Structure 1
């Protein structure tokens, strides 16, 4: 039975490390955003890798297959996990080749093969749940100092302290959530991410007065290689920034 046009269903199936997104329905111009956003939300909570199983997905036009290239590029900076697609359908493979999607996204016939070949970059990870309090940002800074010392990255500590202070204070000021801090180190990159349960996106604004509290997301954007705000599958959001030991250049991009 053919699924109705304009409907795509994305269901996460978490594993020990790798999460599989089971994708069914029909991918057309109407359902394109649903598939894109669904995969990005799952990626925000996937520990070490994401597999999209599209064997039961009908793709109306070959150009729509580029959604998988877009997802791969969007998660390349954060959460920086490997992403691959599983399908046994020859028409899918032809679309991926024709649109050069297979240059950006590995394609495998089965989940078993995909899991075997999915290689996550080596990384270190630490997380801390903070109580909602006036001292939440202070506790976050203590956590960041300790982890940066353990990981021997003192050169990144100052920027990481600035970032975590702003992100945690934003959660306390603008939501009713409990902030959750996550640090990850891979090669020369340190990511600082703060999760909350409020779906409203973080917005880059100038302070109206230098006396206003907080350094603002503009300071985060200045010190980070890249930063963004990603919705999570659980319904909240993750605001994140990636810091690098390289001194040349920094940038910002909305990861939503």
Structure 2
């Protein structure tokens, strides 16, 4: 099924637990930002890797390829999905390889599938609920139950605090459904909250004389790392990782 993002269309397929993306259109200064956001959106569902086939993409210049390096940085900590590029023609492959950093450029989808790393070991649990007065309480109970089930008592208190702040922040800006995702990996526990609002979560400094001891400031203080990424078809995911 084709997805339209800005002036570039995407044809996603799935093979070997990887998302194989075939963007078509012009990648230039006008489409650069929306293209990068669309690419990140495909990572939110956590395929084993994003494999991007460049054959139908028209980069305005070699500098346009840096969008892939920028997207790699955005998804590096979470969801931790690697990006690989495929260019069938050798001249295009050389151009892309010279312009991107730490993003492999291969000659075929088969080669990219063979090069894609294994999915990280871990556990995942999710909860979807309507946004409402009881949402934060429901999220805390969900997190507490999962921590007990996974025998991760060291995360019990901080994870509940994180999910409270993230859910309440989501409810300030969005109506409809709010989702909570927990992921346990060797490096720590990630709490991710989805909502339908397009606005990115931004850490704002308090005004002079104002005490700011809640919201994303709490998240930033507790988490090893945190961030905000867009998702299909709209909305965002705000995530935070507690270190092991």
Distance 1:66 1:203, change over 3 A: closer
Deviation at 1:160, TM superposition (A): 1.2
Deviating beyond 6 angstroms after TM superposition, the runs of 4 or more aligned structure 1 residues are: 207-210
Distance 2:142 2:105 in 1: 39
Q: CA deviation at 1:135?
A: 1.8
Residue 228 of structure 2 is matched in structure 1 by: 229
Counterparts of residues 101-250 of structure 1 (less than 5 Å): 101=100, 103-119=101-117, 120-205=119-204, 206=206, 215-245=214-244
Alpha-carbon spacing, 1:144–1:47, altered in 2? closer, same or farther (3 Å): farther
- Residue in 1 that maps onto 2:28: 28
Q: Does the aligned pair in 2 maintain the 1:230–1:237 contact within 8 Å? A: yes
Pair 1:92-2:92 in alignment: yes
CA deviations on 1:85-104 (whole Å, 9 max, x unpaired) are: 122121222123323x2x51
Contact 2:170 2:178 (8 Å CA) reproduced: yes
Q: Does the 8 Å CA contact 1:10/1:35 hold for their aligned counterparts? A: no
Q: 3-state SS of the aligned residue for 2:55?
A: strand
TM-score (norm 2): 0.86
TM-score by length of 1: 0.82
Change (3 A) 1:133 1:64: closer
| 1:155, distance to aligned residue in structure 2 (A) | 1.5
Contact 1:177 1:198 in 2 (8 A): no
Distance 1:7 1:89, change over 3 A: farther
Give deviations 1:17-55, integer Å, cap 9, x for gaps: 322221112222222222211101222234432211212
1:123 Cα deviation (Å)?
Answer: 2.3
For residues 189 and 223 of structure 1, the distance between their equivalents in structure 2, rounded to whole angstroms, comes to 12
Of stretches 177-186 and 103-112 in structure 1, the one that deviates more from structure 2 is 103-112
**Matched residues in 1 for 2:149 and 2:16: separation?**
26
2: distance between equivalents of 1:209 and 1:67? 38
Q: CA deviation at 1:59?
A: 2.2
- In structure 1, the residue corresponding to 2:73 is in which secondary structure? helix
Give the structure 2 partner of residue 72 of structure 1. 72
Instruction: Kindly tell me the number of residue pairs found equivalent between the two proteins.
Output: 236
Deviation at 1:60, TM superposition (A): 2.8
Q: How far 1:188 sits from its partner (Å)?
A: 1.9
Query: Aligned-pair distance for 1:107?
Result: 2.1
Q: Per-residue CA shift, 1:157-178, capped at 9, x if unaligned? A: 2221111001111223332121
Deviations 1:134-170 (A, max 9, x none): 2211111111112222223222222211110011112
Instruction: In structure 2, list runs of 5 or more residues that go unmatched.
Output: 1-5
Corresponding residue of 1:251: none
